[in-house]
Amino acid sequence: MSEHVLNSIGLFVPEIILVASLCIIIVADLLLKKRTHAGGWILLASLVLCFFAFSAQSGINTSAFFAMIAVDPFSVFFKVILVISGIFIVLFSMQNKELIPYKNRIGEYYMLIAGMMLGMFLMVSSTNLLMMYLAFEMTSICSYVLVGFTKKSIRSAESSIKYIIYGSVSSGIMIYGMSLIYGMSGSLNIFEIGAALSGLESAPIFSMAVLMITAGIGFKIALVPFHFWAPDVYEGAPMAITALLAVTSKIAAVAMLIRLFRVSFTGVDATGMMAIIPEGIRWDMMLAVMAAAAMILGNLAALWQDNIKRMLAYSSIAHAGYIIMGVVVLTDQGISAVMLYAFMYLFMNLGTFYMAMLYANKFSTESIEGYKGIGYRAPFTAVALTIFLVSLTGLPPTAGFIAKLYIFGAAINAGWIWLVLVAGVMTIVSLFYYIRVARNMFLYKPEGETEPVRFDNFTTAIVLLLLTPVLVLGVYFTPVLEFIKHSLVMFGVQ
Amino acid sequence: MELQFLGIGILTWILFLPIAGLIIILLIPGDKLKAIRITATAITGIQVILAAVIFRHFDRAIEGINSIEGFQFVEKYRWITVEAVPWFGRIEINYFLGIDGLSVLMVILTALIGFIGAISSWTIKKQVKGYFALYMLLVTGMMGVFVALDFFLFFIFWEVMLLPMYFLIGIWGGPRREYAAIKFFLYTFVGGILMMLVMLALYFSVAVPDPETGEMYHTFNILHMMNPAYYVEGSILAGVDTTWRYVAWMALFINFAIKIPLFPFHTWLPDAHVEAPTPISVILAGVLLKLGTYGLLRISFPIFPDATMYFMIFMAVLGMISIIYGAFCALAQDDFKKLIAYSSISHMGIVVIGIAALNTQGMVGGVLQMFNHGIITAVLFLMVGVVYDRTGKRGLYDFGGLANQMPKYTGIAMIGLFAALGLPGLNGFVSELFSFLGAFEAYRWIAIVSVFGIIITAGYILWTLQRVFLGNTPEHLTSLKDLTTREMVCFVPLIILIILLGVYPAPAIELMNTSLSYLTQIVTVPAY
Amino acid sequence: MEQSMLHLSLLILFIPLAGFLILVFFGKKLPRQGDWLGTSLIGITLLMALYMLISKISSMSTETLTYSASWVILRNSSFGATSIDLGFMIDNLTVVMLVVVMLVSFLVHLFSIGYMKGDARYSRYFAYLGLFTFSMTGIVLTHNLLMMYIFWELVGVSSYLLIGFWYEKKSATNAASKAFIVNRIGDAGMFIGIMILFIHFSTFTFEPIFSGLAAGDLPFQSTAWLTAAGILIFCGAVGKSAQFPLHVWLPDAMEGPTPVSALIHAATMVAAGVYLIARMFPMLTAEALIVIAYIGAITALIAATIALTQYDIKKVLAYSTISQLGFMVMALGLGAFAAGFMHLVTHAAFKAGLFLGAGSVIFAMHNALHKKNDHHTDAQDIRNMGGLKSRMPVTYWTFLIFTLAIAGVPLTSGFLSKDEILAGTLAFSSLNGHYLLPIIAFTVAGMTAFYMFRLFILTFHGNHADESRISGLMESPLTMTIPLLILAGLSTFVFYSFNPLGASGGWFFSAIERPASMIPEALQPASAEIFNQAVKALHTPALILSVLIAGAGIFGAVWVYEWKKSSADVISQNFGALYKGAFNKWYFDEMYQYVFVGGTFILTKILRWFDEKIIDGIVNGAATLSERFSVMNRWFDENIIDGLVNFTAWFMGILGFVLRRLQTGKIQHYLAFVVLGVLVFYFIFV
Amino acid sequence: MENELIQWLSQPGLTHYLMIGALLFCIGITLVLTRRNVIMILMGIELILNSVNLNFIAFSRFSVITLDGHLTALFLIILAAAEAAVALAIVLNIYNRFKTIDIDEISLLKG
């Protein structure tokens, strides 16, 4: 038993690093009042350490802490994505102008991010309903505070109250569903649940439970119709936190969704194909409808937005739809497409948020109309933003195209033609609002000031760090595919 | 046939030279206009030389179309390869270039028009650096579509063109450039999505054995997609004459019809042509429209011979409508550029009825018409550009009596206009002749109706000629200067080609004859 | 011999082209702007053509020489290669036609040196003449339909350039465009006809097509398609030879310089149509021939009636040309092959003479008026002339000879050919019962004599209305009168037949024979032997009748205009509506204007509207719908309509607007949606 | 009929607890959806969480004989407290910004 615990601790190194850094940040915050971003650097260092710790975990496929969490390539893959995005979020935060008035509390900010990262790490690896819920709440509670961090801002305040009410109710619904599952299967362990359910006749209660859990996770993913918080919260939150919510926590929730549904609610039918269990609820169709609704609503509503954060909020709702398409197809191919999408989405969406943040800093505008003529004042960043947007649209030769290609491919191969058609049409719609940004930047002359704007090297370096993968992965993505190929191993699943 | 330089094949050179140019241009400071212009011109000039080398070494007797042995200057490398994916087998995407009789003429056309466009771009005054950078990207995109034999690669190049084109129209265009640019983008993007879906469906339907291990894997290789034996049993596009194959053909067709553009998918074209700056109009009409018909011939016809046979009358009818409709619309225009834009619709309709005939004359006529129309319409747009640069106007009513004022210009314009009219002795006639002959053999009445399009064509061309060049020179035009040397450099090679191919088209026809008659054969006499 | 023929014909074809190229590029730099170059080059080709004529007729009379070279080879993997050939075919028809073309061209060149003197684009004019001669020669020499079509169109273009030579005049450019487009309509038919033949025979060359037909291989195995092919190819001739209903371009084409009218619209280009029919004769079915004959007859009649009423000297000649061309076409249609072709040749001489004579008159009038600073009197209106006889003796006497020839008075060339045609009509009606044809033919012959003498008398006889106006009138210079004299000589009978009363014994009739029909027997017209016998039998009555009718016509004209025994005005009033119709050219132009031009115009407007309103955004008429949403619409206009041009997109926008309204900002609504969502999904999926 | 009901009520079992739980859950949801005072909404959330606790414990007691359910309930109580703490802090901030805790007034962000 103690040996098991010791082994488990050995597998828990990255999380421990994070917890340690969390503590160090608190201490550092007390000791070094002047060094405002010290917490940030500490977190950054710990995240980089985590990154290396994950590389040590490659190939391990086991479970830890009495089947509470799994350390398997699948979770490592997602944790790598989370760490990368976490690093960028920290870098963004250091430049975020909105946070400057709160610099005496900035240590808390990084501490909360560290907590959130920890929660998300646990989300992607937990194999127990209780653990899942705890990780989920850890992430949520930290994010509630982060959203309201710029508390003098009235928008931030409003978004935080909305977020916490919405989040609490959603997680309440989810845990209610979990309690029903627990009652029916007699266990909180997802493998045991799966085993118990595979012999089960269809039961309406079970279906309701699945729906309730979907509602909870769907809240995190911002999946229609559980997305309503997203636009308001994204708009109100500080930019870096918006990026964190739109990218990192969304990906973590998708990973959790995949693990839960793959392990517990998917069995094997007579022909050896994967099938949903028990047969009471067609949750693949349900998710497909949600995905379609997300794509439709996200893209169409985004057409009308002028605030870039709000526009990106809707756009990320739409992207949640694309991602869920991969879950719907129920195959390893679909899951690998989701992983690829997540990887690509990370860079292009973070890039877009970063640019929006930079422009908010420099031009103090979040309005797309306010972007007029930026292409002539800051050509490099404007071109970069255009490339990110093009990538989000899904045009080659960018990463976004490859991501869409694989998602669409998986869906076509599994026969979800109608879903792909919806996705295709909505991709066309998405062109409008993405290209509108580029249009305003390049097709109009600058109004008022026309001086060129310079960005420091640090900024340029971050832009390049984000831009390079978007372009390179658009034409050469073999390494990512290799990575995914090796990461498609989930503990306890053949 | 292999031609290499520094160990890199000639097609890669011709394809990626503009990218090198793009990088060089980005490194040149933005205020060194001349250096930027010369770089762009030199790069496209080298492309023309390479195209000439290809023309020289191209073996006219090899068939191409559906076997790799038939292609020339082939370059095939593994690009994306992931071995032994547990749930999928192998993922493989190839960097696969090659040309046959169908594409060689298009490669030459692209190089030539790209060069002419670069020279005529010297008149661009604002944001020169950005302009030429996008221009270079555009040229690579066009060239790529014509040389790619891997569907994935084809698709990437196909879509790569969109964004540069959007900005080239949107930033450097006329007053309604924004509208025109987004309209162009929208239409072609819709088509692109459709093509992407079909591409994926084909990808999952086709599996080929590895020559060494015998392992089956999916492929984007266009040539493999033409072989019915490679279709996986029970996959979505397997079989013959299935609904899904018809649907896929239709989706591809819509994509290509938008590019061509065929009635009723044509409305982006007048706007885009009118608003685009002159060199971009030249590229648009000269090369971009050909991508549509090229795509039909390279992809739709050989991959879906059954559906092609099923839909060919439908295609021919659309071609016929385009001919007549485009001509009538041209007749109603009072904007010079719009007139030429509609004439393009009409002339591309001739290509479509030619290739829809599915016989050798029609095919040869259609492809030759693609080339010829590229040349002729380039002359016409350059012609409008000349007066537009000088006066800022392009309404037909804004001009008159230019024959007195600009004799050289008038002479060249007349040759261009008469070539568009299909005057024998100029190249337009030859290709129209063969297209009509082919169409007549296949569908008598469609061809007969289409022939009346040439009467209307005569109407609008002569009307333009009379309106713009003849009559008395109005007061405000008496200060117009005749063509400059740079403009002559643009025009002369094109005019020479117009006359040369009009008098003796055999060299061009020989280039493609073998491939096209083979293509006809594999479509009409399918392998299954 | 054969080789030299080939070389000569090559030279004849390309020398004018060389002249064109030299004059276009270097014309202005040459001394005298290169008129001597153009003229002498054509002179050389004329000599070559004469040599060819003489040697061909004398040495190898009925042989046909052909030369072929491959132009394009279309290889077809399933059934071999198709070679598309270009080449020459030289038979008697060719050499005769060559001489006609070269001779008229040469004389017109010569005449133009005087006539066009001082024009701003003098060298360009000679260049265009060279281009025209080149194109015309191509038509004459070709042995295949493709080349025929190619040069056919080139002729069209060069005539476009020549008619619109004075392009500052709007009427000239209009006329040029009209000529081209009207011709193009005929050409479209011809093109379809050629396609029918090519698709079936895989060749454009006459010989294999005819031999294929002779072997019983009909296009698409159908006699209807054969007849259709014949009539469609004839459409080309209808356009070029200004036959009803496409005759409207020719009178307008008189806007070009007068020598051009002589060259193009009297002797050569318009004769190309007749030449085409002659070339295609072996494949024309009896039905097609009857159509051709009637078209010719109708043309002859309509044009003659119009010519009776016109006052513009060139317009009268133009309608007379149309009328005579109708005669020729009719003759070929009846099977009077040699007669029709001979009329082409004789007509070329005297009609060119008439035009050049008219040119001489106009030139003189113009100069005289110019001296008086009179710029509003029309130099071409015969009402402004009269009494020119004494001032322009050479022009007067030559003009008289031409007028006699066209009227068909014995001893002239015109009598020979016209008489044979009239006999042919009688013979045809006696064989087939088409009595309308001879009636029309004789009526037209009478009318021709009448209106030509009307023209002649009004121009040269009587007293001038205003003597002072023509006080400075002088005979034209030598370069202009010499051509007139030469043509006057050629309008006498001796050059065609030594028997002034019958052509059938002359060299012409022995050299030009009706080619054998190559189509199945059942479709053929009455054979040449039967026809010739009938002609022989009816020749004498026809001769007498034609002389009487010509005499009556001349007498009528003299009665009315010379002796003024009856007033022309009274006569025309008596004819009332008929006169008005004829005077207004039977309203063809107006009708075409309304029906075709107007129709096309309206159609294009409709299509343009359709394109811009309907297609372009299935609802760009979302405009009307979206008026209701005017606020939104403005927003759209500014932001999205740019992109969302069509209804779908508009609809999406609305949908997006609605969906966006769900986002009320009230957290309880959001949560209600969550609960609702869960319940709805529960009921749908469970 | 009446007897059956009395008998059913007099022998409390799993179903009874579950029904009470469900009832609590519904009341919680109703509170959340209908009350305008933020504090009342937070109380609704507490009710939801307590209904879950009831479920877990009932299941743990009656159908699944493990301690998982009890433990979960403990964790839930702690989490509910944490959540409530954060929520109340945010409510305080809201009151400072908006001078009200009427949730209908807090709807600047929308559309």
How would you write C73-116 as a 3-class SS string?
Answer: EEEECCCEEEEEEEEEEECHHHHHHHHHHHHHHHHHHHHHHHHC
Q: Is the pLDDT of residue C646 over 60?
A: no
Residues A112-132 have a mean pLDDT of 93
Q: Is the pLDDT of residue C621 over 50?
A: no
Residues B422-437 have a mean pLDDT of 89
Backbone phi, then psi, for B249, in 5-degree steps? -60, -45
CB B325 within 8 A of CB C607: yes
Q: Is the pLDDT of residue A214 over 80?
A: yes
CB A294 within 8 A of CB A223: yes
- Verify whether the Cβ–Cβ distance D75 to A134 is below 8 Å: yes
Say yes or no: B367 contacts chain C, CB-CB below 8 A. no
**Residue C627: what pLDDT?**
37
Chain Cα centroid distance, residue B437: 22
Min Cα–Cα distance to chain B from A379, Å = 10
Choose the weakest-confidence range: A90-99, B4-13, B377-386: B4-13
Structure tokens at A261: 């549904």
- Verify whether the Cβ–Cβ distance B513 to C74 is below 8 Å: yes
- Verify whether the Cβ–Cβ distance A432 to C644 is below 8 Å: yes
- Quickly list DSSP for C181-239: HHHHHHHHHHHHHHHHHHHHHS--BHHHHHHHHHTT--GGG-HHHHHHHHHHHHHHHHH
d(Cα A159, Cα A145) in Å, to the nearest integer? 10
Number of domains in chain B: 1
- Verify whether the Cβ–Cβ distance C667 to D111 is below 8 Å: no
- Verify whether the Cβ–Cβ distance A158 to D109 is below 8 Å: yes
Q: Is the pLDDT of residue B72 over 50?
A: yes
**Residue C650: what pLDDT?**
67
- Verify whether the Cβ–Cβ distance D108 to C667 is below 8 Å: no
Say yes or no: D32 contacts chain C, CB-CB below 8 A. yes
Residues C28-38 have a mean pLDDT of 78
CB C480 within 8 A of CB C399: no
Confidence of residue C610 (pLDDT cuts 50, 70, 90): low
Report the residue of chain C nearest A437, measured CA to CA: C639
Q: Is the pLDDT of residue C80 over 70?
A: yes
Nearest CB to A186 within list D44, D64, D91: D64
Residues C586-610 have a mean pLDDT of 71
- Verify whether the Cβ–Cβ distance C664 to D107 is below 8 Å: yes
Chain D residues closer than 8 Å to C661 by CB: 111
Confidence of residue C465 (pLDDT cuts 50, 70, 90): low
List beta partners, residue C72: C84
Min Cα–Cα distance to chain A from B184, Å = 12
For C10-34, what is the HEC assignment? HHHHHHHHHHHHHHHHHHHHCHHHH
- Verify whether the Cβ–Cβ distance C685 to A173 is below 8 Å: no
Read off the pLDDT of residues A30-80 as tens digits, 9 standing for 90 and up: 887 666 788 888 999 999 999 999 888 888 888 888 888 999 999 999 999
**Better-scored residue on pLDDT, C52 or C631:** C52
Q: Is the pLDDT of residue B145 over 90?
A: yes
Report the residue of chain C nearest B365, measured CA to CA: C74
Structure tokens at A43: 């977190």
Residues C599-614 have a mean pLDDT of 69
Q: Which B residues in the span 409-438 are in contact with C, Cβ-Cβ below 8 Å?
A: 418, 423-425, 429-430, 433-434, 436-437
**In angstroms, how far is the first alpha carbon of chain B from the final one?**
30
**In angstroms, how far is the first alpha carbon of chain C from the final one?**
99
Chains A and B touch (3+ CB pairs under 8 A): yes
**Residue C467: what pLDDT?**
64
Cβ-Cβ pairs closer than 8 A, A with D, add up to 122
CB-count burial class (<10 Å; 0-12, 13-18, 19+) for D2: exposed
Q: Is the pLDDT of residue B122 over 50?
A: yes
Read off the pLDDT of residues A26-43 as tens digits, 9 standing for 90 and up: 888 888 766 678 888 899
**Residue A237: what pLDDT?**
92
Token pair 């380039």 in the structure block, residue: B378
Min Cα–Cα distance to chain A from D11, Å = 20
Backbone phi, then psi, for C69, in 5-degree steps? -140, 145
**Residue C637: what pLDDT?**
37
Report the residue of chain A nearest B237, measured CA to CA: A413
**Residue C643: what pLDDT?**
43
Nearest CB to D52 within list A134, A157, A176: A176
Other beta carbons less than 10 A from residue C274's beta carbon: 26
Question: Dihedral sign, CA of B481, B486, B488, B490?
Answer: negative
To the nearest whole percent, how much of chain C has pLDDT over 90?
0
Chains that touch C (3 or more CB pairs under 8 A): A, B, D
Residue D52 falls inside a structural domain: yes
**Residue A78: what pLDDT?**
94
Interface test with C, best of A369, A429, A434, A443 (most C CBs within 10 A): A429
Q: Is the pLDDT of residue D63 over 50?
A: yes
The alpha carbons of chain B give a radius of gyration, in whole angstroms, of 22
Residue D44 falls inside a structural domain: yes
Residues B106-128 have a mean pLDDT of 90
Structure tokens at D67: 């301690």
Read off the pLDDT of residues A404-456 as tens digits, 9 standing for 90 and up: 999 999 998 888 999 999 999 889 888 888 988 988 888 888 877 778 888 88
Interface test with B, best of C167, C190, C194 (most B CBs within 10 A): C167
Which amino acid type is present at position B128?
A: V
Chain D residues closer than 8 Å to A187 by CB: 64, 66, 68
State whether residue A491 is helix, strand or coil.
Answer: coil
**Residue B154: what pLDDT?**
93
Q: Rounded to 10 degrees, what is the CA torsion of C474, C477, C482, C487?
A: -50
Residues C291-295 have a mean pLDDT of 89
Q: Is the pLDDT of residue A288 over 90?
A: yes
Nearest CB to A186 within list D28, D41, D63: D63
d(Cα B314, Cα B307) in Å, to the nearest integer? 11
Q: Rounded to 10 degrees, what is the CA torsion of C542, C544, C546, C551?
A: -170
Token pair 């005077």 in the structure block, residue: C583
Nearest CB to A300 within list C643, C652, C665: C652
Min Cα–Cα distance to chain D from A179, Å = 6
Number of domains in chain D: 1
Residues B172-176 have a mean pLDDT of 84
Closest CA to B161 of B187, B179, B188, B183: B188
Give the structural domain span for B421.
4-523
Report the residue of chain B nearest A407, measured CA to CA: B200
CB A124 within 8 A of CB A79: yes
Confidence of residue C264 (pLDDT cuts 50, 70, 90): confident
Chain A residues closer than 8 Å to C640 by CB: 303, 432, 436
Q: Is the pLDDT of residue C343 over 60?
A: yes
> What mean pLDDT value characterizes chain A?
89
Read off the pLDDT of residues C132-149 as tens digits, 9 standing for 90 and up: 999 989 998 888 888 889
Closest CA to A65 of A102, A16, A105: A16
d(Cα B523, Cα C2) in Å, to the nearest integer? 47
Other beta carbons less than 10 A from residue C179's beta carbon: 29
Cβ-based neighbours of C36, under 8 Å, separated by 6 or more? none
CA C92-C94-C97 angle, 5° bins: 105
Choose the weakest-confidence range: A348-362, B270-284, C426-440: C426-440
Read off the pLDDT of residues B338-392 as tens digits, 9 standing for 90 and up: 888 889 989 999 999 999 988 888 899 999 999 999 999 999 999 888 888 888 8
Chains that touch A (3 or more CB pairs under 8 A): B, C, D
Q: Is the pLDDT of residue B128 over 60?
A: yes
Report the residue of chain A nearest D30, measured CA to CA: A169
d(Cα A135, Cα C289) in Å, to the nearest integer? 98
Residues A136-164 have a mean pLDDT of 92
Nearest CB to A212 within list C656, C662, C678: C678
**Better-scored residue on pLDDT, C11 or C629:** C11
Q: Is the pLDDT of residue A403 over 60?
A: yes
Read off the pLDDT of residues A331-363 as tens digits, 9 standing for 90 and up: 888 899 999 999 999 999 999 999 999 999 888
Say yes or no: D101 contacts chain C, CB-CB below 8 A. no
**Better-scored residue on pLDDT, C381 or A374:** A374
- Verify whether the Cβ–Cβ distance B170 to A427 is below 8 Å: no
Domain of D24, CATH number, reads 1.10.287.3510
Q: Is the pLDDT of residue D45 over 90?
A: yes
Backbone phi, then psi, for C468, in 5-degree steps? -60, -30
**Better-scored residue on pLDDT, C461 or B189:** B189
Say yes or no: D106 contacts chain C, CB-CB below 8 A. yes
Read off the pLDDT of residues A255-265 as tens digits, 9 standing for 90 and up: 999 999 988 88
Residues B180-192 have a mean pLDDT of 86
> What mean pLDDT value characterizes chain C?
80
Say yes or no: B62 contacts chain A, CB-CB below 8 A. no
Chain D residues closer than 8 Å to A232 by CB: 109-110
List beta partners, residue C412: C492
Read off the pLDDT of residues D73-93 as tens digits, 9 standing for 90 and up: 999 999 999 999 999 999 999
**Residue C634: what pLDDT?**
38
- CA distances to A151, C114, D70 from C118, rounded to whole Å, are 93, 9, 117
ipTM of the complex: 0.85
CB-count burial class (<10 Å; 0-12, 13-18, 19+) for C563: exposed
> What mean pLDDT value characterizes chain B?
88
Interface test with C, best of A432, A434, A439, A444 (most C CBs within 10 A): A432
Say yes or no: D63 contacts chain A, CB-CB below 8 A. yes
To the nearest whole percent, how much of chain B has pLDDT over 70?
99
d(Cα D91, Cα D93) in Å, to the nearest integer? 5
Report the residue of chain C nearest A298, measured CA to CA: C656
**Better-scored residue on pLDDT, C623 or D12:** D12
Report the residue of chain B nearest A376, measured CA to CA: B127
- CA distances to A161, A420, C139, C453 from C296, rounded to whole Å, are 96, 67, 21, 23
Confidence of residue C613 (pLDDT cuts 50, 70, 90): low
Report the residue of chain A nearest D74, measured CA to CA: A130
Which amino acid type is present at position C653?
A: G
Nearest CB to C672 within list D33, D107, D110: D33
Most confident by average pLDDT, A82-96, B164-178, B460-474? A82-96
Q: Is the pLDDT of residue B62 over 90?
A: no
Read off the pLDDT of residues B498-509 as tens digits, 9 standing for 90 and up: 999 988 998 888
Say yes or no: A164 contacts chain C, CB-CB below 8 A. no
CB A477 within 8 A of CB A399: yes
CB B333 within 8 A of CB B360: no
Say yes or no: D30 contacts chain A, CB-CB below 8 A. no
Q: Is the pLDDT of residue C617 over 70?
A: no
CB C549 within 8 A of CB C441: no
Chains D and B touch (3+ CB pairs under 8 A): no
Choose the weakest-confidence range: B291-300, B392-401, D12-21: B392-401
Residue D4 falls inside a structural domain: no
**Residue A126: what pLDDT?**
92
Say yes or no: B162 contacts chain A, CB-CB below 8 A. yes
State whether residue A63 is helix, strand or coil.
Answer: strand
Confidence of residue C629 (pLDDT cuts 50, 70, 90): very low
CB D28 within 8 A of CB D77: no
**Residue A66: what pLDDT?**
86
β-pairing, C80-90 vs C65-76, is antiparallel
Q: Which residues of C301-322 are buried (b: 16+ CB within 10 A; e: fewer)?
A: bbbbbbbbbbbbbbbbbbbbbb
d(Cα B492, Cα A484) in Å, to the nearest integer? 56
Q: Is the pLDDT of residue C53 over 60?
A: yes
To the nearest whole percent, how much of chain A has pLDDT over 70?
98
Q: Is the pLDDT of residue C245 over 50?
A: yes
Structure tokens at B197: 């879906």
Report the residue of chain A nearest B156, measured CA to CA: A396
**Residue B371: what pLDDT?**
93
- Verify whether the Cβ–Cβ distance B459 to C600 is below 8 Å: yes
Q: How many residues does chain B have?
A: 528
Structure tokens at A450: 């026309």
d(Cα C392, Cα C476) in Å, to the nearest integer? 8
- Verify whether the Cβ–Cβ distance D109 to A130 is below 8 Å: no
Read off the pLDDT of residues A169-200 as tens digits, 9 standing for 90 and up: 999 999 999 999 898 888 889 988 888 887 77
Most confident by average pLDDT, C84-88, C581-585, C586-590? C84-88
- Verify whether the Cβ–Cβ distance D107 to C671 is below 8 Å: no
Which amino acid type is present at position C624?
A: T
Give the structural domain span for D57.
14-98
Q: Is the pLDDT of residue A482 over 70?
A: yes
Residue B185 falls inside a structural domain: yes
Q: Is the pLDDT of residue C276 over 80?
A: yes
Closest CA to B420 of B472, B483, B498: B498
Choose the weakest-confidence range: C87-96, C253-262, C367-376, C407-416: C367-376
